[in-house]
């Protein structure tokens, strides 16, 4: 099993939750698999455990990946790391697939010199965002980390704490309120590729703001988006 290569030169491919088209998403295996390929960046999702550890998981339950109907934020990390996840290659639970800590992900990005794209999921408090900043600065550096989120309050808080930080607003579509928020706070856009058109790209580029799209696994679609001028493409399998 391997990635699907696009025909155009493009330096903005982001591995969605690691190389999740091959390895179990948001695991160390997925991050290392992406790190050993040509991806510009590696994306992950973060939440907080019961004992306020920043952990890497998209879902807030173990149902989809761990086959257990358990609410992840109700467990301490020492408990969570004992739960195994489904290995994407075999379809079976594997001791090698577990929920990692954010610092583990950051260490991989630093070692392989990849840009870290961190999605802050719903349910975080300001103390978690402070911890996020502290871990970024102690394990990697702000210059090589991007924080993305649907939560505008997170982005506003981080912009005030670290004015120089690269931030992206996640959006299923663009409206004037979201555009004004990005313009006012100098925040880039990460939008569902199905909602993108060339006018959006031009509008943000005129403000010297970047445009990313998610989640693209079709080679032809990716090449069309590159022609539109997008800066980054988040993908599970394209390279």
Examine residue 206 and state whether it is found in any structural domain, yes or no: yes
Examine residue 5 and state whether it is found in any structural domain, yes or no: no
Report the pLDDT value the prediction gives residue 141, as an integer from 0 to 100: 95
Report the pLDDT value the prediction gives residue 22, as an integer from 0 to 100: 98
Residue percentage of the chain with pLDDT more than 90: 98
Residue 1: pLDDT band (50, 70, 90) is confident
Examine residue 3 and state whether it is found in any structural domain, yes or no: no
Indicate if the pLDDT at residue 8 is higher than 90: no
pLDDT tens digits, 181-239: 999 999 999 999 999 999 999 999 999 999 999 999 999 999 999 999 999 999 999 99
Closest to 83 in 3D by CA, of 52, 107, 49: 49
Examine residue 2 and state whether it is found in any structural domain, yes or no: no
Which domain, by its residues, includes 71?
Answer: 13-235
Residue 143: pLDDT band (50, 70, 90) is very high
Prediction pTM value:
0.97
How many folded domains does the chain comprise?
A: 1
pLDDT (mean) for 143-152 = 98
Pure H helices in the chain: 28-35, 63-66, 77-80, 102-112, 126-139, 152-161, 176-185, 198-206, 219-228
Examine residue 7 and state whether it is found in any structural domain, yes or no: no
Examine residue 229 and state whether it is found in any structural domain, yes or no: yes
Contact predicate 212/14, CB 8 Å? yes
Examine residue 21 and state whether it is found in any structural domain, yes or no: yes
Using the CB atoms, write b or e for 132-146: b if 16+ within 10 Å: bbebbeebbeeebbb
pLDDT (mean) for 75-102 = 97
Examine residue 215 and state whether it is found in any structural domain, yes or no: yes
Indicate if the pLDDT at residue 100 is higher than 90: yes
Report the pLDDT value the prediction gives residue 222, as an integer from 0 to 100: 97
Report the pLDDT value the prediction gives residue 53, as an integer from 0 to 100: 98
The string of DSSP letters for 64-126 reads: HHHSS--BGGGS-HHHHTTS-EE-TTTSSEETT--PPBHHHHHHHHHHHT-EEEEEE-TT--H
Q: What are phi and psi of 138, to 5 degrees?
A: -90, -30
Per-residue DSSP letter, 238: B
Indicate if the pLDDT at residue 78 is higher than 90: yes
Report the chain's mean pLDDT, rounded to a whole number: 98
Contact predicate 234/16, CB 8 Å? yes
CATH of the domain at 118: 3.20.20.190
Residue 5: pLDDT band (50, 70, 90) is very high
pLDDT tens digits, 108-122: 999 999 999 999 999
């Amino acid at each position: 099993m391997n990635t699907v290569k696009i025909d155009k030169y493009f330096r903005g491919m982001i591995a969605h939750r690691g190389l999740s088209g091959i390895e179990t998403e948001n695991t160390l295996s997925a991050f290392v698999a992406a790190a050993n390929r040509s991806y510009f960046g590696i994306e992950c999702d973060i939440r907080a455990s019961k004992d306020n550890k920043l952990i890497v998981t998209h879902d807030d339950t173990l149902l989809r990946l761990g086959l257990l109907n358990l609410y992840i934020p109700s467990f301490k990390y020492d408990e969570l790391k004992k739960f195994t996840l489904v290995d994407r290659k075999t379809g079976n639970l594997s001791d090698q697939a577990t929920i990692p800590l954010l610092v583990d992900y950051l260490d991989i990005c630093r070692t392989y010199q990849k840009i870290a794209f961190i999605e802050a999921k719903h349910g975080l408090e300001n103390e978690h965002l402070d911890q996020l900043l502290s871990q970024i600065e102690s394990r990697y550096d702000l210059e090589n980390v991007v924080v993305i989120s649907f939560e505008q309050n997170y982005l506003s808080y981080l912009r005030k704490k670290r004015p120089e930080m690269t931030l992206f607003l996640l959006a299923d579509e663009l409206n004037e309120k979201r555009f004004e928020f990005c313009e006012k706070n100098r925040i880039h856009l990460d939008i569902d590729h199905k909602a993108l058109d060339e006018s959006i790209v031009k509008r943000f580029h005129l403000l010297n703001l970047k445009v990313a799209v998610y989640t693209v696994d079709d080679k032809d679609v990716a090449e069309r988006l590159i022609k539109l001028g997008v800066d980054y493409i988040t993908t599970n399998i394209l390279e």
